[in-house]
Amino acid sequence: MRRKATDPRIQLLLRELDQAYDKKAWHGTTLRGSLRGLTVKEARWRPARGRHNIWELVLHAAYWKYIVLRKLSGDSERKFPRPGSNFPRLPKKADSKTWAKDVRLLQEQHTGLRKAVERFPVHRLAAKARKSIWSNVDHIHGIAAHDLYHAGQIQLLKRLQRRK
């Protein structure tokens, strides 16, 4: 259950995160919505050698949600649940169970990030995140934009698959 943040700046950031990830938005498909109903075969399809597939984009999006959460929390001990970074490798056994597990990983990272933003001190929004040139609010806006960017990529990959 989502609790209501009281500060309008935090409310705006949460709305931006929600509309990019999983809530109704004027712009169309969200990141989570772009994954609805995908099969393992569709998630693993690659448009060309050396290009990313949907599954890799899911792991990448989860990883960067983790990075932003880590920056906001200042917790340098926090570890990503999967080995690797940026574009973690796909599991050796790529079946519907492992696909569902990685989609859940994305959801878990989003939920953790959203909770951190709900509790984030407003007076720290403009401050620079740990070891960064960007402010905390820049990271929050950025991760929402990141979700939308990859939702668009996923929609395009789905359309390309259906044309082959």
Band of pLDDT at residue 164, cut at 50, 70 and 90:
low
CATH code, domain with 91: 1.20.120.450
Q: Which one is predicted more confidently, 94 or 138?
A: 138
- Between 136-163 and 8-21, two packed helices, what is the crossing angle to 10 degrees? 20
Give the structural domain span for 88. 8-163
Both tokens of residue 161? 């698959």
Q: In this prediction, what percent of the chain has a pLDDT beyond 70?
A: 96
With residue 63 as reference, give the H or E element that holds it.
Answer: helix 54-73
Query: What pLDDT is attached to residue 129?
Result: 78
Q: Is 125 helix (H, G, I), strand (E, B) or coil?
A: coil
CB atoms near residue 164 (< 10 Å):
6
pLDDT tens string 93-132 = 889 999 999 999 999 999 999 999 999 999 999 999 777 8
Q: Which residue has tokens 């169970």?
A: 97
Query: What pLDDT is attached to residue 76?
Result: 85
Q: Would residue 3 count as lying in a domain?
A: no
CB atoms near residue 68 (< 10 Å):
23
